[in-house]
Amino acid sequence: MTDPIYPDVVQLAVPVFIALILAELAWIVIRGRGGRYETRDALTSLVMGAGNVASGILLGFVGWGFFMTLWAITPLDLGTSWAVVALCFVLDDLRYYWVHRFGHRIRWVWASHVNHHSSQHYNLTTALRQTWTGAFTFMIVVRAPLILLGFHPAMVLFCGGLNLIYQFWIHTEAIGRMPRWVEAVMNTPSHHRVHHGRNPRYLDANYAGVFIIWDRLFGTFVAERADDPVDYGLVRNLGTFNPLRVAFHEWLAILRDVTQPGLTLRQRLLYAVAPPGWSHDGSRETSEAIKARHRAEAGRDPGMPAE
């Protein structure tokens, strides 16, 4: 049986990405609301996006080889009907939720994902501020169950591309709230603004790609609140627009921490895989510690997710 062929939807979407960025920029400039743009910030985001495509071209064969090996050994083949594609899309979105959650809770994966959160802006260029080092996180293994279940690797990558395209439009402040049923089921600009927030309330929330139901199901959903406007960026914001520094800074920080003298082997390992902010001497703050400090300072805060 010949392998199915699906279009590279992300490449095809590039002209649409550019057109929508121009439309958002025009909207903000003409209307004077709906977000902010800054030249160097936007430029850095766009260069990160181009680098992400380049790294995919350079390293994509590793993932493809891994997937085709799995496909060769699995006895299952669900075929290529549109119902199977739809099922694959939903399950791949569940896969995305967990990879994304790992990306915030495991420093090794965060080192790759952190650059996406490194802008203090939230506009459509932020959507393109993507990692150059995703291949080094080994998160492609999370796609293995889909292929072993009988979804063809080409279909899985096609659905992953659609997922990425969906997430483009939600990186905007130009859209407030969607109709209630959309906000209940789908990831929306409002839900994803929360995800990009550095406010204690919004840390480690709303990991969804397309369907926000995963966050509701697994207890990580936090609603955007008018009384706590989202403050975008990192807990400690970068002081550089240099894409190389944006791409590699957390990997270097891991290296520095892991190789410092006087640590046990376990401590060295934890610097690489514990949640971001973990330290052997408690001198730094994890997101849990930041939330705890917020609770202590603000008293009872009903909008905070459960501890």
Partner 1 sequence: MPFGVLIALVMCGIAGIAVLTHALGLSARAPFPDTAAARAAWLREYPALAPADVVMSRDGRSALIVTAGGPGVVWRFGADSTARLLTGARVRRCARGLDIRLPDFTAPRIVLDLSAEETDAWTRSLGNAA
Residue 237 touches partner 1, criterion: CB under 8 A? yes
**231: contact with partner 1 by CB under 8 A:** yes
In whole angstroms, the minimum distance from the beta carbon of 115 to partner 1 comes to 11
Choosing from 59, 165, 186, 238, the residue that interacts with partner 1 (CB under 8 A) is 238
Q: CA triplet 147, 152, 155: central angle to 5 degrees?
A: 110
Give the chain as a 3 state SS string. Answer: CCCCCCCCHHHHHHHHHHHHHHHHHHHHHHHCCCCCCCHHHHHHHHHHHHHHHHHHHHHHHHHHHHHHHHHHHCCCCCCCCHHHHHHHHHHHHHHHHHHHHHHHHCHHHHHHHHHHHCCCCCCHHHHCCCCCCHHHHCHHHHHHHHHHCCCCHHHHHHHHHHHHHHHHCCCCCCCCCCCHHHHHHECCHHHHHHHCECCHHHCCCCCCCCECHHHHHHCCCCCCCCCCCCCECCCCCCCCCCHHHHHHHHHHHHHHHHCCCCCCHHHHHHHHHCCCCCCCCCCCCCHHHHHHHHHHHHCCCCCCCCC
Binding of residue 25 to partner 1 (CB under 8 A): yes
CB of 39 to partner 1, least distance (A): 4
- Is the Cβ–Cβ distance between 170 and 187 less than 8 Å? yes
The nearer residue to partner 1, 93 or 250, going by C-beta atoms, is: 250
Identify the residue among 37, 64, 98, 102 touching partner 1 (CB under 8 A).
37
Residue 233 touching partner 1 (CB under 8 A): yes
- With CB under 8 A as the rule, give the number of residues binding partner 1: 40
Member of 240, 269, 298, 301 binding partner 1 (CB under 8 A): 240
Choice between 216 and 245, CB closer to partner 1: 245
245 in contact with partner 1 (CB under 8 A): yes
- Using CB under 8 A as the binding rule, whether residue 23 contacts partner 1 is answered as no
**In the complex, least distance from residue 87 CB atom to partner 1, rounded to whole angstroms:** 28
CB of residue 48 vs partner 1: minimum separation in angstroms? Answer: 11
Rounded distance between C-alpha atoms, residue 159 and residue 163, angstroms: 6
Nearer to partner 1 by Cβ, of 154 and 253: the residue is: 253
Closer CB to partner 1, 15 or 75, in the complex: 15
9 binds partner 1 (CB under 8 A): no
User: Of the ranges 77-85, 160-168, 239-247, 267-275, which one interacts with partner 1 (CB under 8 A)?
Assistant: 239-247
The answer to the question of residue 282 lying near partner 1 (CB under 8 A) is no
Which residues of this protein are in contact with partner 1, per CB under 8 A? 8, 11-12, 14-15, 17-18, 21-22, 25, 29, 36-43, 46-47, 50, 53, 120-121, 125, 231, 233, 236-241, 245, 248-249, 252-253, 293
